[in-house]
A and B are shown apart, each in its own frame.
Chain A
């Protein structure tokens, strides 16, 4: 393979925040006409390193060379001037502006007046060149995630970027949208652009990139050509040790009906139908995976079981292990559900928004579930403190202290705190939504292990996931939602990724697995 011309060279880059070293002496080169994957666990310093190229942070030490010339990048403007553009994980778009308005923001124009025709023409030219599809007059609030991401990429190309950095670009996309994104990324590479993708999804690294650079604990530990890599090699380099990549799936022990949902119809907060007449059973000692494009009713399904959403019609019957007659959950609020002895542990999608209070420490967050237990007018603090301590030790939560506000912890550690607390409630039904979203492999596997432990204890687990490979490996059965309807319930041991993918988009090519469902 001929060596491409070097676009960026980082020499001895270091950056510390307070006492924490985010990057230490990183050396890295990025080449024109090449897709480089930047791979690493959560908190390994991938995003910080790239933010220094994008002008968000300034390195404490080290040197940046663009096309062999040393440069100072002190602000996003300097980055643009050096042809560097970054698509951040959280999109930086103005909702009430059109695509074109977002694109011309901050442009150094000769004239005050915006020449909308010229802008639209230039956008069309970029779209035609790389295969994007974008409507310049569409408002951002009318766009879906995929369109917003396209807009972000067009935006930086419009500013003349030759070096593109994409931070976890597929985190919010469906498999189909990801494929589309990879196509345009390859087109851009073929046009000579240098492209960096920050990710921790190994399959993507292998399928799209030309070279992989691996960061571990803020240092660049290796860089290899993708043709010489496989999942095992990459994981070991990323973790620094051997890792078992197989997800355990114990056989369900004596499954009995725990939760039966009949003809459930739910409207979302805007009054649209979110769930349309759905029925299914969740068994004890079993993991029921829920697949679907995001926003297809997963959230409403979990919320209606937990008593957080208003049910329009249908029933949710709950049969605890020590009871004979089922209890109806519809019409009860979350507190009543708890007082009835119904234990539901719920890991919401938005972990810092709904699950934890960011400004409180671990032990205070534990108290959110037990504040009513004290006997005096003062809160009972000892038990939550002990619980927080044991979660910190058992799940290896990286925090200076159990009193440190959880918003200061990294995403993976926040997730561990939340899952740990919910599991400590010794649930009969454990519901999780996107439990491993944004987590690295190591933490993800810790979460899978915790969920499996609950399953072995006879808990009925409902696992809403987005990674089909994980859903297929972890679940016993997979329920597929599409636009608020169940398009199929499959046996996860026998079905294929393609079958699930088809059902997710509303296809009916597969018979639903009736035998499993009616048990």
Chain B
């Protein structure tokens, strides 16, 4: 057994890691926002699937049915349709768990199943209509995967590593930083965290608990939905592998714990997860003399999460724990 160095392969791996990591990062940011309001939404994979299929359907159908599709309209359509669909899916979850106080775990899991069904159904409907299984939107690929001119091509390795992505990848970093500032520096962020920790206290301080919860879950769902659409973007806006979004969604839920509910940690954590989730494809090119099953490699993000969970619980740091009221419905009359 030996290890061989291969620069091109490593560069490809890192670029893939950042792309896939950003998908997970969007999912995790939405989930962090939701969990800070005290709601564990296991429907994230379903919401990401809804965002993905909706964004894909809008861009694909627009390109198919318009003589001269415009890049700008394409941009708006892709973003808005995935955000709207994901928000609607989040609304189902929010209404059931906030207003009807349904069990959050059951509702979330159901939503994931529902989202997978929706994506499968509409995916096959669109495929059937266009008479091909390899459907894709070429213009959307062009718009969303537009690289930064000059920087991405003329800086050698640095350009390939740092400037070789679509704008959604950079937007994810900005969003994560903004979220972190929101939680720690603003009144609204403090109020939201208080709700996730102890809604009774927040209520007694005059905070509108229900309003905050709806806002957090709907915004969180919208952000997660963008992750679903980004998955299609990094796969050149073709539908064939889109149902794998679900796996990305579960990684996003794991990433929330890995990042200890801090959006900025989720940036590098997301890239690490992306790196590990692509290990099956790239790691064997660096290793000679022994064959390790791809499935073993695919397990690594989860194994790392388990290790981190063990590590975090050893440290017993209060700030690294989940919001205290996570998963619990809030009834004002309960004392």
Binding site for B on A (CB under 8 A): 54, 56, 75-77, 79-80, 88, 92-97, 101, 104-107, 109, 112-114, 139, 141
Among B198, B206, B324, point to the contact of A77 (Cβ < 8 A).
Answer: B206
Complex: how many Å from CA A56 to CA B204?
A: 8
Cβ-closest 3 pairs across A and B = A77-B206, A106-B205, A92-B201
User: 0/1 per residue, B201-245, Cβ < 8 Å to A?
Assistant: 111111100000000000000000000000000000000000000
Complex: how many Å from CA A54 to CA B197?
A: 22
Complex: how many Å from CA A101 to CA B321?
A: 18
Measured CB to CB, the closest approach of chain A to B26, in angstroms, equals: 24
Complex: how many Å from CA A97 to CA B185?
A: 13
Measured CB to CB, the closest approach of chain B to A80, in angstroms, equals: 5
Residues of A within 8 A of B188 (CB): 112
B34 within 8 A of A: no
Select from chain A the residue with minimum beta-carbon distance to B186.
Answer: A112
Query: Judging by beta carbons under 8 Å apart, are A97 and B187 in contact?
Result: no
B281 within 8 A of A: no
Complex: how many Å from CA A77 to CA B319?
A: 28
Complex: how many Å from CA A139 to CA B187?
A: 18
Complex: how many Å from CA A56 to CA B334?
A: 11
Complex: how many Å from CA A106 to CA B194?
A: 9
Complex: how many Å from CA A271 to CA B240?
A: 56
Among B185, B186, B202, B318, point to the contact of A106 (Cβ < 8 A).
Answer: B202
Contact status of A114 and B318, CB under 8 A, knowing A76-B204, A88-B204, A92-B198: no
Residue in A77, A96, A107, A112 whose Cβ sees the most chain B Cβ within 10 Å? A96
Residues of B within 8 A of A79 (CB): 206
Select from chain B the residue with minimum beta-carbon distance to A94.
Answer: B197
Residue in B185, B187, B188 whose Cβ sees the most chain A Cβ within 10 Å? B187
Residues of A within 8 A of B319 (CB): 96
Query: Judging by beta carbons under 8 Å apart, are A105 and B191 in contact?
Result: yes
Complex: how many Å from CA A329 to CA B170?
A: 67
Given contacts A54-B204, A95-B318, 4 further A-B contacts (CB under 8 A): A92-B204, A97-B194, A105-B201, A109-B187
Select from chain B the residue with minimum beta-carbon distance to A92.
Answer: B201
Complex: how many Å from CA A114 to CA B198?
A: 20
Complex: how many Å from CA A80 to CA B205?
A: 8
Among A76, A77, A109, A141, point to the contact of B318 (Cβ < 8 A).
Answer: A141
Complex: how many Å from CA A106 to CA B208?
A: 9
Query: Judging by beta carbons under 8 Å apart, are B206 and A80 in contact?
Result: yes
B200 within 8 A of A: yes
Residues of B within 8 A of A109 (CB): 187
Residues of A within 8 A of B203 (CB): 76
Residues of B within 8 A of A56 (CB): 204, 332
Query: Judging by beta carbons under 8 Å apart, are A96 and B318 in contact?
Result: yes
Query: Judging by beta carbons under 8 Å apart, are A114 and B190 in contact?
Result: yes
Residues of A within 8 A of B198 (CB): 92-95
Chain B 178-200 residues near chain A, CB threshold 8 A: 185-188, 190-191, 193-194, 197-198, 200
24 contacts between A and B (CB under 8 A): A75-B206, A80-B206, A92-B200, A92-B201, A94-B193, A94-B194, A95-B318, A95-B324, A96-B197, A96-B319, A96-B324, A97-B194, A104-B187, A104-B190, A105-B194, A106-B207, A107-B187, A112-B186, A112-B187, A113-B186, A114-B185, A114-B186, A114-B190, A139-B318
Complex: how many Å from CA A79 to CA B206?
A: 9
Query: Judging by beta carbons under 8 Å apart, are B185 and A105 in contact?
Result: no
Select from chain B the residue with minimum beta-carbon distance to A86.
Answer: B204
Interface SS of chain B: helix, strand, loop or mixed?
Answer: helix
Residues of B within 8 A of A92 (CB): 198, 200-201, 204-205
Query: Judging by beta carbons under 8 Å apart, are A76 and B205 in contact?
Result: yes
Complex: how many Å from CA A75 to CA B206?
A: 7
Complex: how many Å from CA A79 to CA B204?
A: 10
Query: Judging by beta carbons under 8 Å apart, are B205 and A105 in contact?
Result: yes
Complex: how many Å from CA A141 to CA B205?
A: 19
Query: Judging by beta carbons under 8 Å apart, are B206 and A97 in contact?
Result: no
Complex: how many Å from CA A112 to CA B198?
A: 22
Select from chain B the residue with minimum beta-carbon distance to A81.
Answer: B206
Residues of B within 8 A of A77 (CB): 206
Measured CB to CB, the closest approach of chain A to B35, in angstroms, equals: 14
Among A93, A112, A141, point to the contact of B201 (Cβ < 8 A).
Answer: A93
Query: Judging by beta carbons under 8 Å apart, are B205 and A113 in contact?
Result: no
Query: Judging by beta carbons under 8 Å apart, are A105 and B318 in contact?
Result: no
Residue in A54, A80, A106 whose Cβ sees the most chain B Cβ within 10 Å? A106
Residues of B within 8 A of A112 (CB): 186-188
Query: Judging by beta carbons under 8 Å apart, are B186 and A105 in contact?
Result: no
Contact status of A105 and B207, CB under 8 A, knowing A96-B318, A112-B187, A114-B185: yes
Complex: how many Å from CA A237 to CA B207?
A: 40
Measured CB to CB, the closest approach of chain B to A45, in angstroms, equals: 15
Measured CB to CB, the closest approach of chain B to A160, in angstroms, equals: 12
Contact status of A114 and B187, CB under 8 A, knowing A96-B318, A105-B207: yes
Select from chain A the residue with minimum beta-carbon distance to B324.
Answer: A95
Complex: how many Å from CA A429 to CA B258?
A: 51
Select from chain B the residue with minimum beta-carbon distance to A51.
Answer: B335
Complex: how many Å from CA A348 to CA B206?
A: 36
Residues of A within 8 A of B324 (CB): 95-96
Measured CB to CB, the closest approach of chain B to A263, in angstroms, equals: 32
Complex: how many Å from CA A339 to CA B8?
A: 74
User: 0/1 per residue, B241-283, Cβ < 8 Å to A?
Assistant: 0000000000000000000000000000000000000000000
Complex: how many Å from CA A187 to CA B26?
A: 53
Select from chain A the residue with minimum beta-carbon distance to B316.
Answer: A270
Complex: how many Å from CA A76 to CA B204?
A: 5
Complex: how many Å from CA A106 to CA B203?
A: 9
Residues of B within 8 A of A114 (CB): 185-187, 190
